[in-house]
Amino acid sequence: MDKTLFINIASYRDHELWSTVESLLATASAPDKLHIAICWQDDNDLSAIQQKGWVPVPVSSLAGFPVYRLDGSAALIELIALPYQHAQGVGFARALCDQLYRDEQWFLQIDAHSLFAKDWDARLINTLTGLSQQSAKPLISGYPPSYHVTEAGEIHYGQDVGRVTFNRFTAEKLPTLTSQKLCASQPVKGSFVAAGFIFTQGAFVKEVGNDPTLFFEGEEITLSLRAYSWGYDVFHIPDRLLWHHYTRPTSPKIWEDHSPGAQERGEISVCWLQREAQSQRRVKALLGLVPPSPTDKAAKALGPTRARRQFEYQCGLNFSLASCYAECLAPSFDCDFLPPRDEEEWVNWHRHYYSKPLNLGALLGMPAAHVLPDKLILHLYAQNNTRLAYREFTRAQLGATHIEVSGWSTPNCPPAFLRLASWWQDSGWGNVIQQPWSEDEGPYCLL
């Protein structure tokens, strides 16, 4: 076939979809080489498409949903008409688009609220070709600069290109990603992809592809891991080749349409909370936190080229510990590291050792002549209320009111504060006292 660039667009009730398509076509250097696949999760009113000048021609079906070819441009545009009440999440939508891939040389994945710079296609191809000197499978990704439309209809374009970095671990110990401004004039190697902007070799669709079992959260970390396992290397580029509309507070969201109330009314079969819970189990399985489920037959597996642990070495995360290297955090936000010499070095890089001698009298605010408690319970917490240490002391163990608290935590979860509870046999419990823990010497430390 004569099409060489396959474009995957998942759209959920997005009124900016058609401006995205028009921008793709108007700014491309070779619009006749584009094959655009759209998962149109909407009310599927074809007359609205016709009013925009497109001629929908039924050609096939996927997963029981009709597929239309949209005539009206030099590009091949295929539209999967999926009623939004039957939507199953972003992974399902993107995976449906993947099925329309026809061995094109290049692959682009975007969100349905994007605008493009002139000759974006030729510039992406040229940049990726140049990166092939550094990697056999280069992959361009990142968070594009933003755009927004004013009430007067004017488009304001942002300037900052974002690289994808580690953010934090959730309470479920799942890593989340964020954006940091890319301050570079040349491509920078990374570890994480932004699912709303991926450009690479077309073989990516068959090798990595999108996981239909993922609903929303965890899409990017698992896609990053699976791409790495197939040998792809992520690069963030400083060029502003497209813009992305972030937040969009007035746009319909699937978690609003697919609420528990909508399920009770019979408007949908499964609410978003159920789908997200199933998806989170899948994310945990990919990260090695739980065994994979034998029922996840449609789920995407890791590739054969590189292992999960190698990915952890490179990006600085330890999934089982919910830990990251200190350099993954502010101010550097690094995400591309050389592998450790051995497993012992790897373990130590994920340990933040702490030790603090405490003056109990100063800590509890007791005068020197005050009777020591019969029991002291000490809790040490991180900022997110993760308990790092629990110790009980008898009066005999307290000795001359001096105690030592030491141990280790992960670099992203250092000690933040102490909570102490004192108990006297004749009067019971005293007040619970909370004091900050600081790397600097505090007022209650022995100097």
Instruction: Say yes or no to pLDDT of 447 above 50.
Output: no
Question: Does 441 fall in a domain?
Answer: no
Instruction: Say yes or no to pLDDT of 148 above 80.
Output: yes
Question: Are the beta carbons of 237 and 127 closer than 8 angstroms?
Answer: yes
26: CATH = 3.90.550.10
State mean pLDDT over 212-236.
Answer: 97
Instruction: Say yes or no to pLDDT of 193 above 70.
Output: yes
Instruction: Say yes or no to pLDDT of 373 above 50.
Output: yes
* pLDDT band for position 189 (cuts 50, 70, 90): very high
State pLDDT tens for residues 166-177.
Answer: 999 998 999 999
Question: Does 195 fall in a domain?
Answer: yes
- Please provide residue 342's backbone torsions phi and psi, each rounded to the nearest 5 degrees: -160, 180
Same domain as 341, residue 259: yes
Domain stops at, among 350, 368, 387 = 350
Domain count within the chain = 2
Provide the pLDDT for residue 159: 96
Provide the pLDDT for residue 209: 98
Q: Mean pLDDT of all residues in the chain?
A: 92
Same domain as 377, residue 241: no
Provide the pLDDT for residue 372: 78
State mean pLDDT over 31-52.
Answer: 95
State pLDDT tens for residues 149-165.
Answer: 888 989 999 999 999 99
Same domain as 223, residue 366: no
Count the Cβ atoms, other than its own, within 10 Å of residue 359.
17
Question: Are the beta carbons of 15 and 118 closer than 8 angstroms?
Answer: no
State pLDDT tens for residues 275-332.
Answer: 999 999 999 999 999 998 877 777 899 999 999 999 999 999 999 999 999 999 999 9
* Nearest Cα to Cα of residue 221 among 167, 172, 290: 167
Question: Does 442 fall in a domain?
Answer: no
State mean pLDDT over 400-409.
Answer: 79
Domain stops at, among 350, 379, 409 = 350
Provide the pLDDT for residue 359: 75
Question: Does 148 fall in a domain?
Answer: yes
Question: Does 163 fall in a domain?
Answer: yes
State mean pLDDT over 118-122.
Answer: 98
- Please provide residue 288's backbone torsions phi and psi, each rounded to the nearest 5 degrees: 80, 20
Provide the pLDDT for residue 326: 92
81-85, 106-110, 249-253: which has the minimum mean pLDDT?
A: 249-253
Same domain as 329, residue 193: yes
Domain coverage including residue 308? 1-350
Question: Does 445 fall in a domain?
Answer: no
Q: CA 373, CA 432: separation in Å to the nearest integer?
A: 13
State pLDDT tens for residues 337-350.
Answer: 999 999 899 999 99
Provide the pLDDT for residue 68: 98
> How would you classify the pairing of strands 415-424 and 428-429?
antiparallel
* pLDDT band for position 368 (cuts 50, 70, 90): low
Q: Answer yes or no: pTM beyond 0.85.
A: yes
Question: Does 89 fall in a domain?
Answer: yes
Q: Name the 3-class secondary structure at 197.
A: strand
Provide the pLDDT for residue 366: 64
Count the Cβ atoms, other than its own, within 10 Å of residue 165.
23
Q: Name the 3-class secondary structure at 266.
A: coil
Same domain as 390, residue 247: no
Same domain as 366, residue 338: no
Question: Does 269 fall in a domain?
Answer: yes
* DSSP calls for 372-416: PPSEEEEEEEETTS-EEEEEEEEHHHHTTTEEEEEEEE-TTS-EE
State pLDDT tens for residues 227-277.
Answer: 999 999 999 999 999 999 998 888 999 999 999 999 999 999 999 999 999
Same domain as 312, residue 207: yes
Same domain as 397, residue 278: no
Residue 179 DSSP label: E
Q: Which two tokens stand for residue 381?
A: 């917490």
Same domain as 226, residue 86: yes
359: CATH = 2.60.40
Question: Are the beta carbons of 234 and 190 closer than 8 angstroms?
Answer: yes
Provide the pLDDT for residue 367: 59
Same domain as 133, residue 118: yes
Same domain as 14, residue 108: yes
Q: Name the 3-class secondary structure at 297.
A: coil
Domain stops at, among 297, 317, 350 = 350
Provide the pLDDT for residue 445: 47
Same domain as 30, residue 59: yes
